[in-house]
Structure 1
Amino acid sequence: MMCFSGPTDLPCRYFARETDSVVMTVAFRLAPEHPFPIPVMDCCRATKHFLKNAEEYGVDPNRIVLYGICSGGTFAAAVCQYLAVTKDLPKLGGQVLIYPFLQAVDFNLPSYQQNHSVPLLFKKQALNLGMLYLTGKRVNVEDVMKNAHLPEHVRIKYRKWVNPDDIPERFKGRGYVPMERPPFNQELYEIVKEATNPMYSPLLAEDDVIRQLPKTFLVTCEYDIFRDDGLLFKKRLEDNGVPMTWYHIEDGFHGLLLGIFRWPLEYPGTKLHFQHINNFINSI
């Protein structure tokens, strides 16, 4: 299993023990010194190397799973898409995406409105970090938060995939209000235009790429700004016939699973949630 696990390696140790897996973690370079696409391409190169040389590590190259949590989930999704169209490599066995960020088109989907001030990840904090990774510098995200960063033709292009109408009604019950777009900020767009690159926003990959993705286990949390990114990605996978398992944590929040084995930070039910992931990994 290849892990892009974010700020802790405890889940990687857990999976190695509980699923009897060889786990490889990737030490990619970090923004702002190394902005997009350097970190995600580091992950691509490391995964390609592992696939080519898996047998040297005692690993069946046809049973490799990519795992990522939070931004690591974004990287895992992007790497899967990159490898899906790369020839002369074994096909990945699966991907596990834990509450990933997946699109930079609409930051006022229901979950972004409902959970903008829910710990552990506030909306403004997430966009500050996301823009720092994208550009390598601080960006005033006030207009990004209002969706003023993309021109009308770009919004229309991606509306087939990023559309609040595709979010089930049961997820709109905590105060969602459709918002009018503010005036387009051309200067801001020139800074952040790479935000629609599928390596940054994996939800925006073309259908012929999505159709080649491996079995997927996707975790979303109700009280997480990225919940609707996951719901829209779930729809894209299902629409394109990709085998997928969706696991929604009704009382979950962003960062919920990072506290595993860190008592008293471990949230009740965390080990149960991880057991579902174990079962998916063991099914590959």
Structure 2
Amino acid sequence: MPLLNHRRLYLKRLGYDSPPPPTLQTLQELQLRHVCTFAFESLSTLLHLPVPIDLPSVEQKVLLDGRGGYCYELNQMFLALLQELGFEARGITGRVVMGGPPDARTARTHRLSLVILDGVRYVTDVGFGGMVPSAPLQLDTQAVQATPHEPYRLTFHGEEGSYTMWVEVAGEWRGLYVFDLQVQADIDYEIGNWYVSTHPASPFVGQLKVARLAVGQRHTLNNTQYTVHYLGRPSEKCVIENQQALLELLQGTFGIQVPTPLSLHDLFVSDGAA
């Protein structure tokens, strides 16, 4: 069965001229290529704009309008591609704990996917900002797992049936999010997305968060604070001092076609930049 037009375009953006087979190698390549091609970004929530997460809207925004998105957009689009390629896959959700205690009971505000290949279960995630894993992770092991970037591992909490995703950064293991395998309905994603995109306590509302990976690098932008994280050497940080420099960074390094006209003046006022 031929791929739908948007899926064909998606694959072409990822460097494929024809649909690859549903294998582990393909899954690994797709995830790495995605996180190095499409930016995680929150321009819509910065500007207090709606973030529709129906698949046609997501594909229009990311594939046709040259934008990026966050987990409810990017992981949904990635899952649709996997399913059309013949992977056994479905969406799941998690609770973000990054920056706080790994056992915190936060809201379900993260979306990722479960993939089963030859009876082996994996989780795949292309929508977790600056610390997104660049490879799928085998679920039923607590061993350290290498990726093209940092090492990751999963721990299982049998009494709750949940897992914690960890990443090693600068010799320290940091908890990112806690998830389980509970089946999700569309309304579950809608509720989580509504909170992330509209609630005053959401870290995305009125904030600019952008990330994109490259070989051995992670590029992140938090409002006007731009950082390049390298493997094996110190990060480089700088403050973006004006709107023109910010627009050039978004378009160049992050590959985002910024909507025009767009004023980011308030971002510099709130961040104290010139």
> Please, what TM-score do these two structures have when normalized by structure 2?
0.28
> Please, what TM-score do these two structures have when normalized by structure 1?
0.27
Higher RCO structure, 1 or 2 (CA under 8 Å, sep 6+): 1
Q: Name whichever structure is richer in strand by fraction.
A: 2
Q: Name whichever structure is richer in helix by fraction.
A: 1
